């Protein structure tokens, strides 16, 4: 349901959704120290939910992603 919720929010409040996306990328940039790495990390994170995994599977996937990107 998260995908539908985010899509509805982006439709109903695009300025808020845009601000959220920019803040998220800013946080990733601070953590990774590189704008391109932050962008790729964000896109990869979004892709981890493409098949609507269970919370346990999603946590494992995010762990793998963080292990690969974290300095």
Kindly list the domain boundaries of the chain, sorted by start residue: 2-69
Per-residue pLDDT, 38: 93
> Using DSSP, how many helices (H) and how many strands (E) does the chain show?
4, 0
Per-residue pLDDT, 1: 65
Q: How confident is the model at residue 23 (pLDDT cuts 50, 70, 90)?
A: very high
Region 11-27: mean pLDDT is: 88
Encoded tokens for 3? 């995908």
Region 56-71: mean pLDDT is: 90
- What pTM did the predictor assign? 0.72
Contacts by residues 30-39 (CB-CB < 8 Å, ≥ 24 positions apart): 31/70, 32/69, 32/70, 32/71, 33/71, 37/69
Region 39-52: mean pLDDT is: 91
């Amino acid at each position: 349901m998260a995908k539908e919720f985010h899509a509805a929010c982006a439709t109903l409040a695009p300025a808020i959704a845009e601000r959220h996306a920019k803040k998220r990328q800013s946080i990733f940039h601070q953590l990774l120290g590189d704008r391109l790495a932050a962008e790729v990390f964000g896109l990869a994170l979004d892709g981890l939910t493409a098949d609507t995994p269970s919370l346990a599977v999603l946590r494992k996937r995010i762990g793998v992603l963080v292990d690969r990107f974290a300095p």
